[in-house]
Amino acid sequence: MTATIARIATRPIRIPLRRPWGPDVRDLSVIEVEVEDSDGAVGWGFSWTPTIGAAAVRAHLDHDIRDFAIGREAEASALWDPLWAHLHEAGGGGITTIAMAGLDLALWDLAGRRSGLTLTDLVGRQHETATAYGSGVNLHYSLGELVAQAERWVQEGYDAVKVKVGSPDLARDLERIAAVRDVLGPDRGLMIDANQRWSLQQAERAIGELAAFDLAWIEEPLRADDLAAHVELRRRIEVPVALGENVHTRYRFAEFIDAGAVDLVQPNAVRVGGVTPFLRIADLAADRGVELAPHLLLELSAQLALALPGRHLVESVEDASFEALGALAAPSPVTVVGATASTTGQPGLGVRFSDELTDAAASVPPTEDR
* Residue 247 near residue 267, CB atoms below 8 Å: yes
Q: Which of 68, 49, 44, 10 is nearest to 366 (CA)?
A: 10
d(CA 318, CA 45): 23
Q: Does residue 164 carry a catalytic annotation?
A: yes
Pairing mode of beta strands 130-135, 314-317: parallel
Q: Does residue 162 carry a catalytic annotation?
A: no
Q: Which of 60, 230, 248, 295 is catalytic?
A: 295
What sign has the CA pseudo-torsion 201, 140, 338, 279? negative
Q: Which of 60, 164, 248, 312 is catalytic?
A: 164
Beta strands in the chain (DSSP E): 5-16, 27-37, 42-48, 130-135, 160-164, 189-193, 217-219, 241-243, 264-265, 291-292, 314-317, 334-337, 340-343
Residue 262: its H or E element: none
Q: Which of 309, 312, 277 is nearest to 298 (CA)?
A: 312
Q: Cis omega (within 30 of 0) on the bond before 50?
A: yes
Residue 339, Ramachandran bin (φ over 0: left; ψ between -120 and 50: alpha; else beta): alpha
List residues with catalytic annotation: 164, 295
